[in-house]
Amino acid sequence: MNDQTSASAVARSDPATNRSRRIGIGLALLGATGFATSGPLSQSVLAAGFTPMQLSQMRQTVSATVLLLIVLLWAPQKLRLRLRQLPMVMLYGVTSYLLLQTFYFEAISRIPIGIALLIQFTAPVWVALWVRLVRGTRLPGVTWAGAALVLLGLAFVGQVWDSRSSGLDPVGLAAAAATALCLTCFYLFAERGLSEFDPIGLVTWGAVSAAVMFAVIRPVWNFPFERLTEAGGKPSFPQVVWLLVLIIGVLSTAMPAVSEVAALRYLASPTASVLGAAEVLIGAVLAWLLIDEVLAPPQIVGGLIVLSGITLAQIRPLTRAEAGPPGSDERQKPDHPSNEPERSLT
């Protein structure tokens, strides 16, 4: 036990490890900030008369197209895909992009958005439980404490005691629970996929998979293209809809997805998922600054609690190497490292 403790202390003080953690934390927060920008921009598109599903299809199609063009021109080798990898990539794209957005929009159409977000961002707890129970990795106590504080803070941000929360629609609650499951899949599938893919390659294939499925479910010839030249419905964003969708697809979808997946090269999924919860807080602040959605005192308190939870979890951030091999259900044995080469995903 003393040897293990000493080894952990050495790892924490290693400059290279500390640098990796800082890079991972920066990428995760950058991703959360990018995803948070979608709120105010998306509201302008929705206010122009587009449905949530139409917006979801547009943002995913734009994201997939932009990513595919960039990677094909810049580094086409990052799109190398073997047949055996296709099921995982498709599952990652459908769960982490198509279903996540679809269930989220269904949830907020039936229950208050604060309740939906609170349920969705229970994902860090499910990620931590998976890593602990399936991989057998012991997580630092501050990781659990940080996740608990984040959930408490989100309850304040969402003001779950609001009278509108009584008599919640069961379908809405089920949809919100499904978003938590999909968000959990986003972190776990991405962490697993990084064993064989570059982050931008993985996100590109995931986005393309989701865009293709959207096209199958909702044929493009039924889409109201003529309305893309209309102005956005919010005075703060009067630009034409096609420009807003382009910004959402790049700034609020493609870039943050690559950033958050890249963070998983340096941080384990339990740590990265806690950082991802900053999206709710940043989104609330951006809505206040950009579209005058005033934060109530409980929401400000909740924001401070969320920040405290994120900060607490970063006292001992777990690196990817420390969390054990993704996709393996074998127990980690740090005292007796194996000399066998790491098995590739199959």
What residues contact 41, with CB distance under 8 A and at least 6 apart? 237, 244, 247, 248, 252
Residue 338: left if φ>0, alpha if ψ -120 to 50, beta else—which one? beta
- In three-state secondary structure terms, 132 is helix
Place of tokens 């405290």: 308
Question: Can you give the pLDDT at residue 68?
Answer: 92
Question: Can you give the pLDDT at residue 331?
Answer: 39
**DSSP classification of residue 234:** B
pLDDT tens track, the chain, 346 positions: 444 444 444 445 567 667 878 888 889 899 888 888 877 787 788 888 888 788 888 888 999 999 999 999 988 888 887 888 788 888 888 888 888 877 887 787 677 666 777 778 788 888 878 877 777 777 777 777 777 887 787 777 666 666 555 556 778 878 888 988 999 888 888 888 887 788 888 889 989 988 998 888 888 888 888 888 887 777 777 788 899 999 989 998 889 989 988 988 888 877 788 788 787 777 777 777 776 666 677 777 777 787 777 777 666 666 555 555 565 444 344 444 444 444 333 3
- In three-state secondary structure terms, 237 is strand
Place of tokens 């007796």: 336
Q: How far is CA 235 from each of CA 59, 264, 308, 316, rounded to the nearest angstrom? A: 21, 38, 34, 44
Domain ranges across the chain: 19-323
AA identity, residue 289:
L
Can you give the C-alpha Rg of the chain in angstroms? Answer: 20
Query: What tokens does 53 get?
Result: 């599903």
Which of 120, 101, 90 shows the shortest CA–CA distance to 59?
A: 101
Question: Can you give the pLDDT at residue 246?
Answer: 92
The pTM (predicted TM-score) of the whole model is 0.74
Question: Can you give the pLDDT at residue 65?
Answer: 93
* Contact between 310 and 277 (Cβ < 8 Å): yes
Question: Can you give the pLDDT at residue 63?
Answer: 92
